[in-house]
Chain A
Amino acid sequence: MGQSIWESMEKKGYSRRQFLQFCTAAAAAAGFAKSGVAQVVSAFEKKEKPAVLWMHFQECTCCSESFIRASHPIVADALLDVLSLNYSETLMAASGFQAEKSLQDTIKNNKGKYIVLVEGAVPTKDGGVYCMIGGKTAESILQEVSKDAAAIVAWGSCASNGCVQAAKPNPTQATPIHKLVNKPVINVPGCPPIADVMMAVVTHVLVLGQIPALDNLGRPKEFYGRRVHDTCYRRPNYDAGLFVESWDDENARKGFCLYKMGCKGPVTYNACSVVGWNEGTSSPIRSGHGCIGCSEEGFWDQGPIYAHLATFPGFGIESTADTVGTIVAATTLAGVAAHAVVTNVRKHKVIAEVHAEEKKEQ
């Protein structure tokens, strides 16, 4: 602590050239223009390494797993040089009282300056007993660390919208971070989020000292501004009406659109198609599987993964709104036909009655 990134890198024996390469990669990852590189260099030279608290609540650590696979800037640099990771249950060496002391010290010594990264949702039911660390509930820990934080980032769908913990019936009342704190929260949804996106968000906060432009759901616009569908390399097949009809059919081999296989690309906002996963090696759709919409709120409750329409409640798991609609329409058609038959059977009576009434009028 107390050192700038450049100072700490210099001490570790990095050359100036390596530092500049790192700055350029960081600037590119954060989505800056070339002219922004100087800003990054300046920030990394002068600004103190910010203290970072990485909190784990109700989650599976897949966000951490994803994060350590960030490709640009290289993860070791990120963890050891860019950030002062003062607390992280998964990665820190300290444990027990030492770990808790580190947490308290960071809060005390960096008031208003440290960054809180939260992984996981917070259960609020029954006083929050369903997630406790060191004898304290997740909710009270969150309040404690978020009070004097400079910025709060919600990693993954758990922290952004509850994810699987908040799926129906949400037994622990798992609640996303932004509903519990009175500060702006950067939501980085995804199960997990893309490593390079996480890195870029952190870089943005560090370099500019401010939160990136967010959309109405609190997600950074630069990564969540476009649909997976609109950036998908299979999109031309969608417009051409060329679809995979079943797994491993000829169309699947040809790489046609996975829309009919329940791909949630058209309703999912993420950068998968652009950034890619594992150093840009692939992405779900590129590997032949539809998007499951993991960065969308409540995606666990939005029906089956391999169908595009949610199931209709009360009609069994296989019936969608379309099945029910077809049945209702067919029933109506049958009813109308029956009505027409009845009318025709009574035809003579109708005519006779009309005549009788007319006779009466005379």
Chain B
Amino acid sequence: MSTTEIVGKSKFGNGHPADYRRVYVWEMPVRAYHWINAIVLVVLCVTGYLIGTPIRAFYASEAYQQYWFGWVRFLHFLCAYIYVFNFLARLYWGFVGNRYAKWNNFFPITKSQREEIMDVLKTDVFQTKLHGAISTGHNALAAFIYFFTFLAFCAQSITGFALYSSMSNSWIPRMFTWIVPLMGGEMSVRYWHHLFLWFFVVFIVVHVYLAFYHDYIEGRGTISSIVGGWKFDKMPEAQGTKERGSKGTKA
């Protein structure tokens, strides 16, 4: 069908086949959380891997001449603190933020959320459904996976601080000293901390890809929304004013 045909048959005044409405989805704190988290998480993954498997980066004949491994560790600890407080701030925002940021997005409580999970699976994994009415905010499947990501955040923070407690007298890591004997010694804490690194690596790969995929398949600015906060909702021609797209994210 040619463009002129579409314009000709359009029921909307502006001649477009469907009308879109701007929705302010991601508020500033949510976007800030996302990008701080993204930067810090990448730094944590890279420095964390380096701490586990240091590379022969620089050569010196005497130890006093450089401190690069010390800086790598410092960066890791610094980012860990930012990461934890950023996460706590996001938890707070889950109670005071807008409907798209609310805590109840992250659990499939309602029937429509559970239906949407199946819907998104069909779209993403089986590719049997190529597009459809997907929530404007987090889709129910993504949100539920984020919930598990939050659990991984907690696991990584707890094991991380437990490991850090042996080299710090600060009260935050000191709170986690009891984790070490509970998990059977520092070697095993270290082991789990390593394993969770790979969870984040896999998460980053899938998350970035799916963000692009949904940007394409939904066609309403998924990628740009995390920069500017705006997404686009398709308005049904009959009730152009009624809000749509809040399925599964009831306020």
Residue ranges of A at the interface with B (Cβ–Cβ < 8 Å): 216-217, 227, 230, 236-243, 245, 254, 259-260, 264, 266-267, 293, 296-299, 302-303, 308-310, 320-322, 324-326, 328-329, 332-333, 336, 339-340, 342-343, 346, 349-350, 353-355, 357-359, 361-362
Residues of A within 8 A of B60 (CB): 240, 242
* Binary contact readout B200-223 vs A (1 if CB under 8 angstroms, 0 otherwise): 011001100100010011010000
Distance, CA A266 to CA B54, complexed state (A): 14
Q: A340 — which chain B residues lie within 8 A by C-beta?
A: 209, 213
Of A259, A264, A267, the most chain B CB neighbours within 10 A belong to: A267
Instruction: Give the number of residues in B that approach A within 8 Å (Cβ atoms).
Output: 57
A325 adjacent to B188 (CB under 8 Å): no
The answer to whether B206 and A336 have CB atoms under 8 Å apart is yes
Query: B5: nearest residue on chain A (CB-CB)?
Result: A359
Contact partner of B69 among A241, A310, A359, CB < 8 A?
A241
B contact set with A: CB distance below 8 Å? 1, 6, 9-11, 17-18, 49, 52-54, 56-61, 63-70, 72-73, 127, 130-131, 166-167, 177-178, 181, 184-188, 190-191, 194-195, 197-198, 201-202, 205-206, 209, 213, 216-217, 219, 236-237
- Contact indicator B187/A332 (Cβ below 8 Å): no
Residue with the highest number of chain A CB atoms closer than 10 Å, among B9, B53, B184, B187:
B187
Q: Judging by beta carbons under 8 Å apart, are B17 and A259 in contact?
A: no
A309-B52, A340-B209 given; 14 more Cβ-contact pairs under 8 Å:
A227-B167, A237-B63, A240-B68, A241-B57, A241-B58, A266-B186, A267-B186, A297-B184, A299-B185, A303-B187, A325-B198, A343-B216, A350-B217, A359-B9
Q: Is the pair A342, B127 in contact by a Cβ cutoff of 8 Å?
A: yes
Residues from chain B with Cβ under 8 Å of A254 in the complex: 61
| Interface residues of A, dominant DSSP | helix
Residues of A within 8 A of B188 (CB): 298, 302, 310
Question: How far, in whole Å, are A58 and B69 apart by their CA atoms in the complex?
Answer: 43
Residues on B with C-beta less than 8 A from A302 are 185, 187-188
- The residue of chain B having its C-beta at the shortest distance from the C-beta of A353 within the complex is B130
Give A227's nearest chain B residue, CB to CB: B166
CA distance A165 to B91 in the complex (A): 47
Q: Are A336 and B17 in contact (CB under 8 A)?
A: no
Cα A297 to Cα B188 in complex, Å, equals 11
**A329 and B205 within 8 A (CB):** yes
Determine whether the beta carbon of B202 is less than 8 Å from that of A322.
no
Q: Which residues of A contact B166 (CB under 8 A)?
A: 227
Name the contact of A324 in the complex, choosing from B1, B9, B65, B198 (C-beta under 8 A). B198
Contact A343 B194 (CB under 8 A): no
- Decide: B185 and A267 in contact? CB cutoff 8 A: yes
CB distance from A192 to the nearest CB of B (A): 19
CA distance A325 to B194 in the complex (A): 9
Pairwise interchain contact A353-B131, C-beta atoms closer than 8 A: yes
Chain A residue contacts of B73, Cβ below 8 A:
239
* Residues of chain A lying within 8 A (CB to CB) of residue B65: 240
Q: Does A259 lie within 8 Å of B54, measured CB to CB?
A: yes
Partner of A361, one of B17, B49, B63, B130: B17
Pairwise interchain contact A296-B185, C-beta atoms closer than 8 A: yes
Contact of A239 among B63, B190, B213 (CB under 8 A): B63
The answer to whether residues A359 and B17 also contact, given A298-B184, A308-B52, A322-B53 and a CB cut-off of 8 A, is yes
Residues of B within 8 A of A329 (CB): 198, 201-202, 205
The smallest C-beta distance from B62 to any residue of chain A, in angstroms, reads: 8
| Chain A residue at smallest Cβ distance from B237 | A361
Q: What are the nearest 8 A-B pairs in CB distance?
A: A325-B198, A241-B69, A267-B186, A236-B63, A239-B70, A302-B187, A358-B17, A240-B63
By a CB distance below 8 angstroms, the chain A residues around B186 are: 266-267, 296
Contacts A/B (CB < 8 Å), 29 sampled: A216-B178, A236-B63, A239-B70, A240-B63, A240-B64, A243-B56, A254-B61, A293-B187, A298-B185, A309-B52, A309-B191, A309-B194, A310-B187, A321-B195, A322-B52, A325-B197, A326-B198, A328-B202, A332-B202, A332-B206, A336-B205, A343-B127, A349-B130, A353-B131, A361-B17, A361-B237, A362-B9, A362-B11, A362-B17
Contact A339–B130 (Cβ < 8 Å): no
Contacts of A328 in B (CB 8 A): 198, 202
For A324, the chain B residues whose CB sits under 8 A away are: 198
